[in-house]
């Protein structure tokens, strides 16, 4: 009887444990409601992430459009009215801005040439006053003036009293400048009242302190004084 009771108890315990295991598996694997809830939660998370990205993209695009509107308005206000009259699109305004920039560049270049000529004439006049010779003597006056400018040198050359048919040794000046490490970026020449003026602007690739101005002055003086 005792052994039978133990046997029945063991069997009952085993049956109960098996029922619990099966019940747990049923709850975890076969409950359609729980499975659907998990899938819905995953969909909600994915949808929420996509919505957040869309919101960020919309904000970025909105900010870009706002910045472009501000820039276009600023550009439009900088252009003359006659250039943009009857033109409303941003592409038209940008095209007219490019044309306007080219016009300004041409005006700046023309003013620079005029400035260089005036500066050359002033420098040459100052140099000639240091030479004590009468204006009517017909003596030959030849001057070279070198000034340091940011990144290079500016050279003013004046020759007066040139004989008819004689030429200014401009090519020799250029060769000397190249030998001394100077790159010519502009050269303006003017002939007036028997005087020829040259304004030469050069850039120096090396350190300006290494440029021997005295040597350059001597070479240019020698070149301008050579008989033609």
Q: Decide if pLDDT at 159 tops 50.
A: yes
Q: Decide if pLDDT at 149 tops 50.
A: yes
- Confidence at residue 123, expressed as pLDDT on a 0 to 100 scale: 59
Q: How far apart are CA 134 and CA 126, in angstroms?
A: 15
For residue 221 the two structure tokens come to: 């003086």
Question: Are residues 154 and 213 in contact, defined by beta-carbon separation less than 8 angstroms?
Answer: no
Rounded to 5°, angle at Cα 14 from 8 and 16: 100
pLDDT mean over 186-209: 80
Q: How far apart are CA 176 and CA 167, in angstroms?
A: 17
For residue 205 the two structure tokens come to: 């690739």
pLDDT mean over 70-95: 83
For residue 76 the two structure tokens come to: 């439009």
Domain positions in the chain are 1-29, 118-225
Looking at 3.30.450.80, 3.30.70.260, 3.40.190.10, 3.50.50.60, the CATH number of the domain 118-225 comes to: 3.30.70.260
Q: Decide if pLDDT at 155 tops 80.
A: yes
């Amino acid at each position: 009887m005792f052994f039978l009771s133990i046997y029945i108890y063991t069997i009952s315990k085993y049956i109960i444990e098996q029922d619990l295991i099966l019940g747990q598996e049923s709850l975890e694997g076969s409950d359609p409601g729980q499975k659907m809830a998990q899938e819905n939660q995953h969909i909600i998370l994915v949808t929420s992430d996509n919505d957040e990205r869309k919101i960020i993209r919309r904000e970025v695009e909105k900010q870009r459009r706002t910045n472009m509107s501000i820039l276009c308005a600023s550009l439009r206000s900088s252009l003359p009215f006659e250039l943009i009259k009857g033109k409303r699109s941003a592409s038209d305004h940008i095209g007219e801005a490019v044309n306007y920039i080219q016009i300004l560049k041409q005006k700046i270049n023309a003013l620079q040439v005029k400035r260089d000529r005036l500066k050359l004439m002033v420098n040459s006049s100052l140099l000639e006053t240091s030479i004590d010779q009468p204006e009517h003597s017909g003596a030959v006056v030849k001057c070279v003036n070198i000034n340091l400018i940011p990144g290079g040198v500016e050279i003013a050359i004046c020759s007066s009293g040139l004989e008819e048919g004689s030429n200014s040794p401009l090519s020799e000046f250029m060769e000397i400048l190249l030998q001394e490490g100077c790159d010519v970026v502009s050269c303006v020449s003017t002939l007036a009242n028997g005087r020829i003026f040259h304004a030469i602007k050069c850039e120096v690739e090396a350190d300006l302190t290494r440029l021997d101005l005295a040597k350059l002055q001597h070479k240019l003086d020698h070149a301008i004084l050579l008989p033609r």
